[in-house]
Structure 1
């Protein structure tokens, strides 16, 4: 048997978010493919804590300047015969470039997961247009276009969309999950449940969602379920109270049973201010939720307006309220959109496609080394 392909994934996020979950899915999904994954994350991070369940890990000090972690990483790459570095964040990108100065034979892949505007300053241009980056992986067509507009050659960019593990939702009994969630919240069984399950940050547009909820007619039989935590959680609780929405909104905090919660929701609302793709929509659609999102970043690649969900302009609470009211009042529309988005996800965002796409990137780089 030939030697395994050895990849070191480098990230610098302290929390566990969508990017970290995609790495996990790649590691699990490529089992049996003669590839050996390693992960380097900062000490004290959720990534370092959790990735040890799936592969060898290396911790490093998270600092603005990188001399100590680079030394450790160089030694680790030599000892483990690493062939490819996959930088999974902006900080990982910077660290990987420093690492490659010491080990120029390594092939460098950079995953770009966010649709933020890339700054035009010289240090940033030197980083993104660096000849030592062998390949960019964009998780959406939107991000691919951002890189091209910035000056990155299209030949250096591979489009590999994020995915979810649909098997997580295969055994969820939606009616039972909804009844269980309604009982937990003390609600009647005919209450329409809508919600979100992402970090309370500016990116996710919770302020727009709460404004929209306040605009909904009081005769609508709905309840909003918001799971997650983050720096804006207390602020959003204050906005709910100020809008007299306490009886219509429940904050669940951090939950480990998000698949079950999604399985109990009728509608998932993601009015993000920016979004590289919006993988929560993939989870929610697979779980059986009708989707509403903002027309930004990669979200329209999942939600095709009026076909696989409903779109509204970024920050437009009135438009979001109109979308939510329509879905609350029209169960047949919800059913049609769910059926369409689930087929769309199976065709374009499958776990098999994501794994095969990343492995093709790695193998093609070694073939040209």
Structure 2
């Protein structure tokens, strides 16, 4: 169950669709509940998953809860997996009334509040928490009311695309230039993504004579970042591509993928870049170090450090052999540890185990 606004399609929604489709392919009956006309429900439906659109308009509604109770009594699910605390307050209560055996909450970011409504929701209407990174689990230690043994970690997985159909030079059309190198960053234009540090890093690299273009793809207001690019005198080198459906192809065409984030769960974009064989420089946000072995399959730098980003980018730009080696090791890492199949296997294993071990409250 994911009651995110209908138009949004981000990492959490990708995870739900991939997990639902993967479990469906393994023979489980899966139903996705979300808002009417939700993009993620449409994508789940195209993967063969049954969907249940609902008019979910409030954080707490006896009417919505009663509709969910009736639905759960009809379909008799064994497990409910919620995306938001709102989903717990609606779906969790309904599931408890209807006798659903296990209620999971997936936490893609370490966002939790030490408020009464959260404590009550997690105590009475959620059995376990599913996290994509050990970082998030460790961060939750500050909430003493949420026991660590109730939190399970399953790393995200990504698709490994067929790059033989990709045009490596497609990204250059966004730059309006045929010159390389090209850096690439992807994510919604929110403060958590720290794109200001990538912009400043480009400025520092220009001063050393590299003059890289940087393409940033993602929805949101680019105006503040454009102003910053003007301030750093790199406005001719920073390009905002908006929402794109061809992110893997753009990643493939980039010389280096840069994660400049301040806060992450387990950054899918890092995995996606590695999966197309592009070298990565990433900030130490969230579970980044659970993916990158610094200096082996990528580079990890401190958060909020344009200087550190620029240093590692320069290292890779100045040594093509090293860049190729890092890219190859990164690809091998994803292929071995971070595929969608491995994620689905882990989720399935946890769900089945939880059905055998849950005790009544």
TM-score, normalization: structure 2? 0.90
Matched residues, number = 353
Q: After superposition, give the CA deviation of every residue in 1:1-46 in whole Å (9 maximum; x if it has no partner).
A: xxxxxxxx33435411101101111223234422011111123533
Aligned to 1:318: 307
1:255-266 paired onto structure 2 within 5 Å: 255-266=244-255
Deviation, 1:64, is: 3.0
Aligned to 2:269: 280
Q: After superposition, give the CA deviation of every residue in 1:132-178 in whole Å (9 maximum; x if it has no partner).
A: 42222111111121234423333322211110011xx223356xx22
- Asked if structure 1 preserves the Cα contact closer than 8 Å seen for 2:60 and 2:86, the reply is no
1:1-16 paired onto structure 2 within 5 Å: 9-14=1-6, 15-16=8-9
Aligned to 2:215: 225
1:99-110 paired onto structure 2 within 5 Å: 99-110=94-105
Matches of 1:97 and 1:115 in 2, distance apart? 20
1:299 is aligned to 2:252: no
Which residue of 11, 18, 27 maps to 1:18?
Answer: 11
Deviation, 1:341, is: 1.5
Deviation, 1:325, is: 2.0
Which residue of 227, 231, 237 maps to 1:238?
Answer: 227
Aligned to 2:159: 165
Q: Secondary structure at the match of 1:79?
A: helix
Q: After superposition, give the CA deviation of every residue in 1:53-105 in whole Å (9 maximum; x if it has no partner).
A: 23222222222322232122112212222221101233323323322342234
Q: Secondary structure at the match of 1:216?
A: helix
Structure 1 residues 179 and 366: CA distance shift in structure 2, 3 A: same
Structure 1 residues 184 and 105: CA distance shift in structure 2, 3 A: closer
Structure 1 residues 313 and 138: CA distance shift in structure 2, 3 A: same
Deviation, 1:355, is: 0.6
1:50 is aligned to 2:28: no
Which residue of 226, 243, 266 maps to 1:254?
Answer: 243
Matches of 1:253 and 1:114 in 2, distance apart? 23
Aligned to 1:3: none
Deviation, 1:358, is: 0.8
CA RMSD of aligned residues (A): 2.1
Matches of 2:36 and 2:125 in 1, distance apart? 27
Structure 1 residues 333 and 90: CA distance shift in structure 2, 3 A: farther
Q: Which runs of 5+ in 2 are unaligned?
A: none
